[in-house]
Amino acid sequence: MNDSEFQQLADLLYQNIEDKIEESGADVDYDQNGGLLTLEFNDRSKFIINRQQPLHQIWLATHENGHHYDYKNEQWIDDRSGNEFLTFLSAAILKHAKEEVVFN
């Protein structure tokens, strides 16, 4: 993957996250600033999603842990656990917002 392809995939991922949060009606605030997408919850916790351009990775920081995702087989996969990004994010949002956001 080259830098341009990574940027396009990351843009699509961020847009999907924002769209699905809006569609769900979940009480999750989000803000995109450059390569950062911040999700904030009523319990005052935050998730930071960050593009790591040189590594072609998406990083997710929660108050519990940090995760690094590589794009494999048309999915963002955690380089340690093997979990898929959007599945993990959906479960984490449910835990903090007590509302379901389904990504597809």
Residue type, 102: V
Q: Structural domain of residue 32, as residue ranges? A: 3-84
DSSP 2-32: -HHHHHHHHHHHHHHHHHHHHHHT-S-EEEE
Q: Kindly state the average pLDDT of the residues 79-88.
A: 95
The model's confidence at residue 59, banded by pLDDT at 50, 70 and 90, is very high
Per-residue confidence (pLDDT) for residue 17, from 0 to 100: 97
Give the CATH number for residue 35. 3.30.920.10
Residue 55 placed within a domain: yes
Q: Kindly state the average pLDDT of the residues 62-69.
A: 92
**Number of domains composing the chain:** 1
Residue 101 placed within a domain: no
pTM above 0.85, yes or no: yes
Task: Cite the beta strand spans of the chain per DSSP E.
Answer: 29-33, 36-40, 46-52, 57-61, 66-72, 75-78
Residue 90 placed within a domain: no
Q: Kindly state the average pLDDT of the residues 89-100.
A: 92
Helix (H) or strand (E) holding 87: helix 85-97
